[in-house]
């Protein structure tokens, strides 16, 4: 791929003036590097330098997979090497405390207790734990947002086929204009038979952000179990699960959390833990039907784990604490707002609401199905922007992206607008 003069100049700047800050390998070094005010653009360029990707191909699809910062990647490598040198029980015993430290830090980030957090493998596993573990029967109703991810959508159909309960899908306006409009649709759809309301915090196919706190208030008043899929919110939005009021919450480390791969989070409110059955029982559970594991830990009796990756969740939590979740939320909102304005300015039709209250970091442009792959491939090959074809052209700026990345993306879409709807 041949770089245009603008990109060559930008890459020169990064590899020159900012190269010195890119070598931070420990949290102590990083805390010194990132001591600048979070509102300064140079600060976010320094954050970008903590990630190993080059300017040739820029990740712009945080809704699917994110790179991890060097401090996290190095920690996984370090602890993996430690296990390879000595895989004895004696040596690996230290990971018990490292996992507990990670649990406590994630709980603090989410505003809940450590005993309410299970460190599972991904959002899909967490969703299915809730799906398969709740005591549902024929005559019960499960209400879903029709924009849920398949693991919080089709998975309910599979279980309903086995146990005979009813699944109801709730459709929201294609282009909502205010929060009340979204809340009203859900409120009207719930019935006395509704036992579960399972929704996605931010849709991966439209970018719509649901008013999850308001939905939590409705579910709580009606005694409905409220499950929230947070695959598109953990690591990007500033919130407290206690304030949202959900009964269960799921997410993955490999998306916006910029953490290790194949690690996820399942939150189960303390008073809900006893009623939900685990889906996997492995060593560590105990010798009877009653587990010896405390709290939500009963949902992570999963057999052999990647101890290094699970432990590195704590390092990732430290990274987010260093940046501040409110700062990250504001930064991503600013980038997404600029991106949407730029795309709209070059003639792209947005699927995602422009209002930040109704959207998150997921931004989707309408593109005919038969043109999506060509647009995606050309944007990647010619402009070095790695997006997705989910829902159209999906573009997801995150904390490691810069305003220059946004400008490059808009320029690429402008040049390829003959492929748009």
Residue 4 has pLDDT above 60, yes or no: no
Confidence (pLDDT) at 1: 42
Q: Which residues contact 62 (CB under 8 A, 6 or more apart)?
A: 236, 255, 256, 361, 396, 397, 398
Mean pLDDT, residues 326-333 taken together: 97
Q: What percent of the chain has pLDDT over 90?
A: 89
**In DSSP terms, which residues pair with 208 in a beta bridge?**
359
| Best CA proximity match to 206, nearest among 63, 343, 335, 351 | 351
Six-digit token string for 218: 């409705």
Cα separation, 265 vs 326, in Å, equals: 20
Per the listing, tokens 């179990």 go with: 225
**Angle of the 5-16 helix axis to the 403-415 helix axis, nearest 10:** 160
Confidence (pLDDT) at 45: 94
Cα separation, 225 vs 216, in Å, equals: 9
Provide the whole-model pTM.
Answer: 0.93
pLDDT-derived band at 19, boundaries 50, 70, 90: very low
377-406: per-residue pLDDT in tens? 999 999 999 999 999 999 999 999 999 999
Cα separation, 27 vs 49, in Å, equals: 14
Mean pLDDT of the chain: 93
Residue 247 has pLDDT above 80, yes or no: yes
The answer to whether residues 199 and 215 touch, using CB atoms and an 8 Å cutoff, is: yes
34 or 65, higher pLDDT: 65
135-189: per-residue pLDDT in tens? 999 999 999 999 999 999 999 999 999 999 999 999 999 999 999 999 999 999 9
**In DSSP terms, which residues pair with 265 in a beta bridge?**
119, 251
**Distance from the first to the final alpha carbon of the chain:** 27
70-111: per-residue pLDDT in tens? 999 999 999 999 999 999 999 999 999 999 999 999 999 999
Residue 334 has pLDDT above 90, yes or no: yes
The answer to whether residues 261 and 122 touch, using CB atoms and an 8 Å cutoff, is: no
Residue 7 has pLDDT above 60, yes or no: no
Mean pLDDT, residues 116-125 taken together: 98
| Best CA proximity match to 195, nearest among 131, 141, 274 | 141
Cα separation, 235 vs 252, in Å, equals: 10
Q: Are strands 194-200 and 385-386 parallel, antiparallel or unpaired?
A: unpaired
Residue 21 has pLDDT above 60, yes or no: no
Residue 2 has pLDDT above 50, yes or no: no
Mean pLDDT, residues 284-296 taken together: 92
The answer to whether residues 178 and 208 touch, using CB atoms and an 8 Å cutoff, is: no
Residue 311 has pLDDT above 80, yes or no: yes
Torsion region of 284: left, alpha or beta (phi above 0 gives left; psi -120 to 50 gives alpha): left
Confidence (pLDDT) at 31: 83
The answer to whether residues 325 and 146 touch, using CB atoms and an 8 Å cutoff, is: no
Cα separation, 126 vs 155, in Å, equals: 12
Confidence (pLDDT) at 29: 83
Confidence (pLDDT) at 32: 81
User: Order of strands across the sheet with 194-200?
Assistant: 117-120, 264-268, 248-252, 225-229, 194-200, 141-145, 166-170
Mean pLDDT, residues 315-339 taken together: 97
Which domains does the chain possess? 5-68+324-419 (3.90.1150.10), 78-321 (3.40.640.10)
Cα separation, 296 vs 123, in Å, equals: 15
Burial class (CB in 10 A: 0-12, 13-18, 19+), 228: buried
Mean pLDDT, residues 323-345 taken together: 97
Six-digit token string for 39: 């509102």
Residue 8 has pLDDT above 60, yes or no: no
Q: What percent of the chain has pLDDT over 70?
A: 94
Confidence (pLDDT) at 22: 56
pLDDT-derived band at 26, boundaries 50, 70, 90: confident
40-65: per-residue pLDDT in tens? 899 999 999 999 999 999 999 999 99
Confidence (pLDDT) at 415: 97
Residue 17 has pLDDT above 50, yes or no: no
Cα separation, 420 vs 393, in Å, equals: 9
pLDDT-derived band at 3, boundaries 50, 70, 90: very low
The answer to whether residues 170 and 144 touch, using CB atoms and an 8 Å cutoff, is: yes
Cα separation, 371 vs 373, in Å, equals: 6
Cα separation, 208 vs 226, in Å, equals: 19
* Residue 67 Cα distances to 380, 389, 393, angstroms: 17, 19, 20
Cβ-based neighbour number of residue 305 at 10 Å? 18
């Amino acid at each position: 791929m041949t770089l245009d003069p603008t990109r060559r100049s930008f890459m020169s700047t990064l590899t020159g003036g900012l190269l010195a800050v890119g070598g931070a390998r420990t949290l102590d070094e990083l805390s010194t590097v990132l001591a600048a005010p979070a509102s300064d653009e140079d600060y976010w360029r320094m954050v970008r330098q903590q990630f190993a990707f080059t300017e040739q191909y820029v990740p712009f699809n945080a809704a699917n997979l994110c790179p991890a910062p060097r401090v996290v990647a190095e920690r996984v490598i370090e602890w993996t090497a430690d296990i390879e040198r000595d895989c004895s029980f004696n040596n690996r015993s230290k990971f018990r405390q490292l996992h507990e430290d990670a649990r406590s830090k994630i709980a603090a980030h989410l505003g809940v207790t450590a005993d309410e957090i299970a460190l599972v493998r991904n959002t899909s596993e967490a969703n299915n734990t809730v799906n398969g573990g709740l005591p549902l029967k024929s005559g019960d109703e499960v209400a879903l947002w029709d924009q849920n991810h398949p693991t919080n959508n089709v998975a309910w159909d599979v279980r309903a086929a086995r146990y005979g309960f009813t699944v109801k899908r709730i459709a929201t306006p294609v282009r909502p204009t205010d929060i009340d409009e979204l809340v009203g649709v859900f409120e009207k759809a719930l019935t006395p038979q509704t036992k579960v309301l399972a929704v996605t915090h931010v849709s991966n196919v439209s970018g719509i952000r649901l008013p999850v706190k308001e939905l939590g208030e409705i579910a709580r008043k009606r005694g409905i179990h409220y499950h929230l899929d947070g695959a598109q919110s953990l690591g990007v939005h500033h919130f407290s699960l206690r304030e949202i009021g959900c009964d269960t919450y799921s997410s993955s480390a490999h998306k916006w959390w910029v953490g290790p791969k194949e690690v996820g989070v399942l939150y189960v409110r303390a008073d809900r833990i006893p009623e939900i059955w685990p889906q996997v029982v492995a060593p560590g559970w105990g010798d009877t039907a009653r587990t010896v594991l405390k709290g939500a830990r009963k949902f992570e009796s999963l057999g052999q784990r990647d101890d290094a990756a699970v432990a590195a969740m704590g390092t990732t939590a430290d990274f987010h604490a260093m940046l501040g979740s409110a700062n990250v939320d504001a930064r991503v909102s600013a980038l997404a707002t600029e991106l949407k304005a730029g795309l709209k300015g070059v003639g792209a039709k947005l699927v995602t609401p422009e209002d930040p209250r109704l959207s998150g970091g997921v931004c989707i442009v309408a593109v005919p199905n038969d043109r999506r792959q060509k647009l995606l491939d050309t944007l990647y090959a010619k402009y070095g922007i790695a997006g997705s074809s989910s829902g159209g052209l999906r573009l997801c700026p995150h904390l490691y992206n810069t305003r220059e990345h946004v400008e490059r993306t808009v320029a690429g879409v402008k040049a390829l607008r003959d492929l748009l709807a």
